[in-house]
Amino acid sequence: MATVYLLRHKSREAVKLTLSGKLLVTGEGDRRVEQSFPSAAAAVEHLERVLGLRRREGYVAETTEVAEELVAEAPDPLDGVVKHDAASGRATVTFAGTKVPRGLCASIAARLAEVAPPCVQVICDHASPGKDFAAALARTPLPSIVGFVFDTHFQTLTRQRDNALGDLGVVLGALPAVERVFVSGKLALSASTHARLRELYLLGDPLGRDAIESLGRASFPALETLALALCSDGGPGPDSAAAAALRALAAPRLARVHVDAIDDVTAFLRALAREPLPPSWTSLSLGGTVRDEDDLLAALKDLAGVLCPLAVLGLPLSDNVSASAIAEASALLPGLVDEGELPEVLLPSTYDEW
């Protein structure tokens, strides 16, 4: 059922409005303008405002009820952009093409607020939303989201190096209930605080030094797992900044730390363990390059007192260090294991079940 409103004026051209469900059509033919609203009630509310304005201008409305639909529902402007699986509660946002249309991020945020999924994954194929995404979430917070993923699972990290969602600190502020976050690409991060964040995975090619330094100024009182991929093909990554950030980060419950793509594992380990490690740390895993096994062995001897409290210390041993050096290091550190034998935490499998 559609309703036609013909607005007549003594000296002005008549205006035709057609209301059909969530769709409001103004005019006809080449001058036809369609507006689609989230609900039929929202369309009626908008129409009433328009009619009120027109009446004050001197228009008189003639209303006709039509027995059949005069106009089809407008296609969903977010069709193919936002996909919501009601059964799993997971929503997927896909930015396709080469450019994100103006206003799209705001529409996406409004739709996510409407469907209220517990988890959302954002995919760049190949368009990237940039700062508009963070800005849209700042205007429309999403309190339902517990898991947030900004990662294109079918692309390498190198191909994702320029993908950006704006300031991750702003995004975290707009997701007050989020507990798990996995973000790849061109990271921007302001110093931030989040009370419920438990797992954080950051991947870049490389991760920017400014963002890593901001991580060191963050406060995540619930954080238990932190994993960083410092670079891929675009290295070296911010090794020294990452070591300093891990020491400075306010995360009293942090237990599991993984850092991958380290340019010099021995130097990183010395920087990280120059003082006693936080007492909450139980597992430290470092992936990357060991430049000299003798230097690594010397570092492990020097740092054994600091590293022994760790239940697990993962280092890239099998491809970098001889069997005799591994045996000597293992005698010093009972928790020492080959990093390659530990579960991989920087792959899409980490968030598949979120």
CA distance 31 to 17: 12
| pLDDT of amino acid 20 | 86
Phi-psi map region of 214: left, alpha, beta (phi>0 left; psi -120 to 50 alpha): alpha
100 and 244 assigned to the same domain: yes
Secondary element (H or E) of residue 62: strand 60-66
Boundary-marking domain end, from 194, 221, 254 = 254
307 has pLDDT over 90: yes
% of the chain with per-residue pLDDT over 90: 81
- Per the structure, the count of domains in the chain is 2
Contact by Cβ (8 Å): 175, 146: no
- Residue 167 near residue 131 (C-beta atoms within 8 A): yes
Do 220 and 147 belong to one domain?
A: yes
Q: Given pLDDT bands bounded at 50, 70 and 90, which one contains residue 8? A: very high
- 6 CB-contact burial (10 Å; exposed 0-12 / middle 13-18 / buried 19+): middle
In a domain, 197, yes or no: yes
Do 113 and 192 sit in the same domain of this protein? yes
How far apart, in Å, do the first and last CA atoms of the chain sit? 42
Same domain, residue pair 178 and 53: no
Tell the burial category of 151 from Cβ atoms under 10 Å away from its Cβ (0-12, 13-18, 19+): buried
What pLDDT does 319 receive? 84
Instruction: Provide the residue range defining the domain that includes 192.
Output: 82-254
Band (72; pLDDT cuts 50, 70, 90): low
Q: Is the CB of residue 308 less than 8 Å from the CB of residue 300?
A: no
pTM: predicted TM-score of the whole model, two decimal places: 0.81
The pair of structure tokens assigned to 35 is: 């507006």
Q: Are residues 107 and 165 in the same domain?
A: yes
Domain final position from 254, 283, 299:
254
**pLDDT, average across residues 147-176:** 98
